[in-house]
Amino acid sequence: MRILFVGDVVGKPGRLAVTKLVPALRRERELDFVIANGENSAHGAGMTAATVSELLLAGVDVITAGDHVWDQKGFEKDIERFEQVIRPINFPNSAPGRGSVVVTIADRFQVGVINALGRVYMPVQCDCPFRTVEAEVARLRRQTNLIVVDIHAEATSEKIALGRHLDGHVSLVVGTHTHVQTADEEIFPGGTAFLTDAGMCGPHASVLGREIAPVVRRFLTQLPQKLEVATADVKLCGVIVEVEELTGRARTVERVRISVNTAE
């Protein structure tokens, strides 16, 4: 079984990367399952029903989120309509939506996906991701050994520690949030594939997806700036993992970084 996870989808350029490349990747790489972190898919911050629908129509099976999940007004209601969209599981239980989902693929196998939020250097108060995810993995493993965890976090140490903690219990632990793809993909001894950060689907001639000049001005002056989503050098970044269907152990893990022809 082959799973593609694509990193933070940023605004319209990020959605363009997904809609242009994911259908072809599904065919060419014989992908069975696609996950995207969509928490910045609407105007670079948050999600809407329209951006979620666009990603799902492009061939994404599950959409994960993070600390910006509620940035667009009304999405706390919209999320209840989309079973394939999950928010961090360690949010308060009273928060809308769900923190995990199990999807049946082609009547052959089930894939569980868990979204979690880190606590180091993050502005959102949440429960311990280690204990919360550990308990949810134990619950999902009653249904399937194929489990993917998106840890949306700032600190590399927190992401790596969670990956090591879950080694042998899930198929893939992948980090999101920084918008910068790391080069440390590996399979841990217990069979769990890992990548500290999947990177960004969006404009790479930018500062984390935003226009360069106003970001630099903000650093130089410490004055507020309007940070618009950039448009140039659009790329899709993520990771493909091949997994044993019965055991859930990863066989291979491969970083993906593909440029998008925006002129077509």
- The residue among 73, 68, 77 whose CA lies nearest residue 96 is 77
Q: Annotated catalytic residue: which of 43, 68, 169, 177?
A: 68
Spatial neighbors of 234 by CB under 8 A, at least 6 apart, are 13, 14, 16, 17, 202, 203, 204, 259, 260, 262
Q: Are 178 and 140 in contact (CB under 8 A)?
A: no
Neighbours of 106 (CB within 10 A): 7
CB atoms within 10 A of CB 139: 13
d(CA 226, CA 255): 32
Taking alpha carbons only, the member of 62, 59, 61, 63 closest to residue 19 is 59
Place of tokens 């061939």: 59
Pair 236, 18: CB distance under 8 Å: yes
Q: Which residues pair with 64 in a beta bridge?
A: 37
68 is catalytic: yes
Measure the CA angle with vertex 170, ends 121 and 112; round to 5°. Answer: 95
> Nearest-5° angle of CA 119, CA 143, CA 191?
60
Sign, Cα dihedral of 152, 197, 232, 64: negative
**Length, in residues, of the chain:** 264
Catalytic residues: 68
